[in-house]
């Protein structure tokens, strides 16, 4: 199972700005099996990323790509996916003008169109909490986007922290996405009233049943992301990985 643990690079965005290869080396040394591509410096060379992956042996747990690039630069996005050795392309966030009924309908149409054009790849959507603020056809906007039907080609990349932040139970929420969620985002919520980001295994979210569900339901990568860390992000990634290794032992009891 530890071969499915990946570090989401948004966590170490400041470190990446100082050097891609050194950051990858440190992540590999910790014991992570992969990285999820995100938050690379604006002037980065994709070949530099590919070389760092090859040098360290880290695998690619998908890549976060903006909606704008998916709609207007798909050819280059697919070239990067091939270069990094992944078939998973995830839309990670929406401009605020999309946070309404018409915006979500437009998004669903757009991502399905992208999935049809890029039929050899998997297109997913990563949530935050704002999608729970809009209702479409009697369900949240997130459930509308990720509707688990044969006609809907959009796969899920559920972020369990944001589901809980949105007032829903993460374990209950992921149930419909059996074999429709190749990557899940693991992020914990602090035990205090602030309910901010925390290292996996140190907060309010019970990860054991989530991991057990994932092992039965087609999850290929558990990507750990911590948007804000209390200190050095590398220390937070280390704590999360150590806790995941302990949780793994409980999962298989």
Q: φ and ψ at 28, to 5 degrees?
A: -65, -40
Distance between CA atoms of residues 41 and 18, nearest Å = 9
Enumerate the H helices of 19-174 as residue ranges: 20-30, 46-56, 67-72, 74-84, 101-117, 141-145, 160-165, 170-174
Distance between CA atoms of residues 82 and 104, nearest Å = 29
* Whole-number percent of the chain with pLDDT over 70: 100
Average pLDDT over the chain, rounded to whole?
97
* Whole-number percent of the chain with pLDDT over 90: 98
Rounded to 10 deg, the angle between the 20-30 and 233-251 helix axes is 30
Q: What is the mean pLDDT of residues 23-30?
A: 98
Q: Tell me the β-bridge partners of 48.
A: none
Whether the predicted pLDDT of 63 surpasses 90: yes
3-state secondary structure of 135: strand
Cβ 8 vs Cβ 184: under 8 Å? no
CB within 8 Å of 197: residues ≥ 6 apart? 161, 187, 188, 189, 190, 226, 227, 228, 229
Q: Say which residue the tokens 């994932």 belong to.
A: 214
For 105-163, write each residue's pLDDT tens digit: 999 999 999 999 999 999 999 999 999 999 999 999 999 999 999 999 999 999 999 99
Beta strand pairing call for 122-126 and 5-8: unpaired
**Structure confidence at residue 252 as a pLDDT band (50, 70, 90):** confident
Domain enclosing residue 216, as ranges: 2-251
| pLDDT for residue 195 | 97
Cβ 67 vs Cβ 94: under 8 Å? yes
**Structure confidence at residue 253 as a pLDDT band (50, 70, 90):** low
CB within 8 Å of 70: residues ≥ 6 apart? 77, 89, 91, 110, 111, 114, 123
| pLDDT for residue 251 | 84
Count how many domains the chain has. 1
Global pTM reads 0.97
Q: Tell me the β-bridge partners of 89.
A: 63, 123
Based on C-alpha coordinates, what's the Rg of the chain?
17
**Nearest alpha carbon to residue 90 among 161, 155, 16, 4:** 155
Distance between CA atoms of residues 199 and 203, nearest Å = 7
The CATH number assigned to the domain holding 145 equals 3.20.20.150
Distance between CA atoms of residues 160 and 195, nearest Å = 13
């Amino acid at each position: 199972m530890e071969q499915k643990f990946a570090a989401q690079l948004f966590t170490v965005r400041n470190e990446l700005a100082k050097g891609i290869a050194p950051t990858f080396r440190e992540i590999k040394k910790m014991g992570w099996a992969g990285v999820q591509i995100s938050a690379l410096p604006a002037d980065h060379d994709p070949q530099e990323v590919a070389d760092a992956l090859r040098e360290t042996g880290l695998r690619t747990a998908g890549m976060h790509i903006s909606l704008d690039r998916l709609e207007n630069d798909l050819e280059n996005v697919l070239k990067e996916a091939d270069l990094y050795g992944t078939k998973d392309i995830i839309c990670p966030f929406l401009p605020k003008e999309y946070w309404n009924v018409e915006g979500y309908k437009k998004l669903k149409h757009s991502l399905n169109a992208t999935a049809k054009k890029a039929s050899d790849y998997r297109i997913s959507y990563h949530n935050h909490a704002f999608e729970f603020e809009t209702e479409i056809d009697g369900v949240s906007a997130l459930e509308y986007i990720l509707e688990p039907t044969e006609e809907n080609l959009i796969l899920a990349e559920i972020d369990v922290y944001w589901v809980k932040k949105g007032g829903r139970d993460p374990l209950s929420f992921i149930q419909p996405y059996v074999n429709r969620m190749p990557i899940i985002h693991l992020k914990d919520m602090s035990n205090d009233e602030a309910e901010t980001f925390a290292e996996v295994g140190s907060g309010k979210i019970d990860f054991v049943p989530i991991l057990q569900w994932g092992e039965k339901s087609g999850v290929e990568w558990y990507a750990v992301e911590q948007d804000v860390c209390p200190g050095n992000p590398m220390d937070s990634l280390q704590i999360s990985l150590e806790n995941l290794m302990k949780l793994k032992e409980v999962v298989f009891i």
